[in-house]
Amino acid sequence: MPDIDAAREVALTLAVQLHSARDSQPDPFASEPLPERVLHTAGQFANWLASRPAHLRLRPAPFTFAEGRPGPGVPTKHQGDGMSVTMTDSDQVTYVVAPEDSKGVAVADTLTWSSDDNGAVVTLTPSADTLSCVFAAVDPGTANISVTDGTLSAADSIVVTAGAAASLVLTPGTPVAEA
């Protein structure tokens, strides 16, 4: 929970710095005296500081889909801790995140998605509003994914396993004489 007194203190400091630099020359068009302008600006800064997200709730979608194939999905598989997702190397899963303030109210923010595997295990495609991201499997392995807003972060892991056999190939051996 953000400390509102700390936010107000920072806001007032910023407003004083802004107006002391700006008001070194008197503004003949200013409708308010300087102290009122500083307090008004500090109030705007405090509102902005207090509206920053306090929580990022990261959730995998309830269904995992085969890559590039429209059709029914299968329930997303979770590992023991209830979060880490397991999928085959031909699947993709969508994660959504809900930035919330300290009271659980949704706030708008631009988020950054990342993965620690450099695209070797999963590729990621964030949505235009950055509130969701599709992770498509590349090869078996584990990828630790995260989403941040600059100050907060949420993380999960995706375990990619080999899929079921897609084809069978018979390779004849070299004939040998019977014993």
Shared-domain flag, residues 45 and 62: no
CB 149 within 8 A of CB 110: yes
Specify burial of residue 60 (Cβ count, 10 A radius: 0-12, 13-18, 19+). buried
Task: Name residues whose C-beta falls within 8 Å of residue 96's C-beta, 6 or more positions apart in sequence.
Answer: 58, 59, 61, 131, 132
Shared-domain flag, residues 71 and 9: no
pTM for this one?
A: 0.60
Question: 96 lies in a domain?
Answer: yes
User: What's the mean per-residue pLDDT of the chain?
Assistant: 79
Two structure tokens written together for 59: 């959730």
Question: 99 lies in a domain?
Answer: yes
Residue 105 pLDDT exceeds 80: no
Residue 2 pLDDT exceeds 50: no
CB 146 within 8 A of CB 154: yes
How many other C-beta atoms lie within 10 A of the C-beta of residue 101?
A: 16
Shared-domain flag, residues 135 and 65: yes
Question: 135 lies in a domain?
Answer: yes
Question: 134 lies in a domain?
Answer: yes
pLDDT in tens, 42-101: 777 676 666 555 667 777 877 778 877 667 777 778 765 556 889 999 899 999 988 877
H helices of 111-172, in order, are none
Shared-domain flag, residues 118 and 59: yes
Shared-domain flag, residues 27 and 102: no
How many other C-beta atoms lie within 10 A of the C-beta of residue 90?
A: 17
Shared-domain flag, residues 92 and 124: yes
Shared-domain flag, residues 71 and 114: yes
Residue 129 pLDDT exceeds 70: yes
- For residue 72, CA distances in Å to 64, 67, 75, 96 come to 9, 12, 10, 19
Domain that holds residue 149: 55-161
Q: How high is the pLDDT of residue 1? A: 35
Shared-domain flag, residues 37 and 97: no
Shared-domain flag, residues 35 and 68: no
Shared-domain flag, residues 79 and 129: yes
Banded model confidence at residue 21, pLDDT cuts 50, 70, 90: low
Question: 170 lies in a domain?
Answer: no
Shared-domain flag, residues 44 and 60: no
Q: How many domains does the chain have?
A: 2
The CATH number given to whatever domain includes residue 91 is 2.60.40.1080
Shared-domain flag, residues 59 and 127: yes
CB 112 within 8 A of CB 147: yes
Question: 173 lies in a domain?
Answer: no
